[in-house]
């Protein structure tokens, strides 16, 4: 079971928030991304190649930052869903406090059942992905012409 509650939970998935209210509108969040984060955002946004600005920080040697972009605060649950799916979750729950909780095939069924019982009245959305990663992202494997 993995849970994403805030932007500060995203670095584990390759999306590194650096500064809130970084844009001229004082609304968007400046984020650096690693290769993994870029890959997740490309799938979430359904684009073949996400063109990023230069990274603001280099990141650790084992997981360098490959670029940066601005994300809106309201995108957290959307981005979190794809982070969890791309980490292998087959089922994800969104609760009223905007928490995204993903369950993986290695999780004990009792843990998932306990979560569902405990948060029964707080579950807003329930996402199930019974397909493999390849099937989920099949349209990226097709040759597309404009």
CA distance 128 to 140: 20
Question: Which pLDDT tens digit goes with each residue over 114-124?
Answer: 999 999 999 99
Q: Whole-prediction pTM value?
A: 0.84
The average pLDDT across 43-55 equals: 93
Local structure of 114: helix, strand or coil:
helix
CA distance 69 to 3: 23
- Place 131 in a pLDDT band, splitting at 50, 70 and 90: low
Q: Which strand (E) or helix (H) includes residue 85?
A: helix 76-86
Structure-token match 């969040």, residue found: 29
pLDDT given for residue 59 in this prediction? 92
């Amino acid at each position: 079971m993995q849970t994403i509650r805030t932007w500060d939970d995203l670095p584990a998935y390759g999306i590194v928030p650096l500064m809130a209210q970084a844009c001229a509108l004082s609304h968007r969040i400046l984020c650096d991304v690693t290769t993994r984060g870029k890959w997740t955002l490309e799938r979430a946004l359904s684009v073949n190649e996400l063109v990023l600005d230069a990274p603001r920080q280099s990141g650790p040697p084992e997981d360098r930052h490959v670029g940066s972009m601005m994300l809106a605060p309201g995108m957290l649950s959307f981005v979190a869903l794809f982070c969890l799916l791309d980490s292998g979750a087959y089922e994800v729950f969104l609760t009223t406090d905007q928490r995204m909780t993903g369950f993986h095939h290695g999780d004990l069924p009792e843990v998932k059942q306990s979560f569902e019982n405990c948060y029964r009245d707080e579950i807003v959305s329930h996402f199930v992905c019974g397909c493999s990663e390849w099937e989920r992202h099949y349209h990226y494997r097709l040759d597309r012409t404009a």
